[in-house]
């Protein structure tokens, strides 16, 4: 019997367009909700969450791709 080779598929998070695209889309949705539906302090909190998402999530996805 021949041994089957295990073929690992690359992680989609290795592509930087995916790593930055996913949080950019969701941050855009959060920012749109903030501007259209919220006001005052809640608007600024939602915008802060969107900024943190754009900055932090790509780094987390990059680490996830390297550990996969």
Instruction: Check: CB of residue 15 under 8 Å from CB of residue 66.
Output: no
Q: Where are the domains of the chain?
A: 12-67
Model confidence at 29: pLDDT above 70: yes
| Helical pair 16-37 and 41-67, crossing angle rounded to 10 deg | 170
- Taking all residues of the chain, what is their mean pLDDT, rounded to a whole number? 88
- pLDDT higher at 50 or 7: 50
Give pLDDT, residue 11.
77
Question: Is the pTM of the predicted complex or chain greater than 0.95?
Answer: no
Looking at residues 56-60, what average pLDDT do you find?
Answer: 93
Which pLDDT band, with edges at 50, 70 and 90, does 53 fall under? very high
């Amino acid at each position: 019997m021949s041994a089957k080779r295990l073929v690992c598929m690359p992680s989609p998070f290795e592509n930087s367009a995916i790593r930055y695209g996913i949080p950019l889309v969701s941050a855009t949705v959060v920012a749109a909700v903030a501007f259209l539906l919220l006001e005052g302090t809640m608007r600024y909190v939602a915008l802060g969450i969107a900024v943190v998402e754009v900055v932090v999530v790509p780094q987390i996805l990059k680490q996830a791709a390297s550990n996969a």
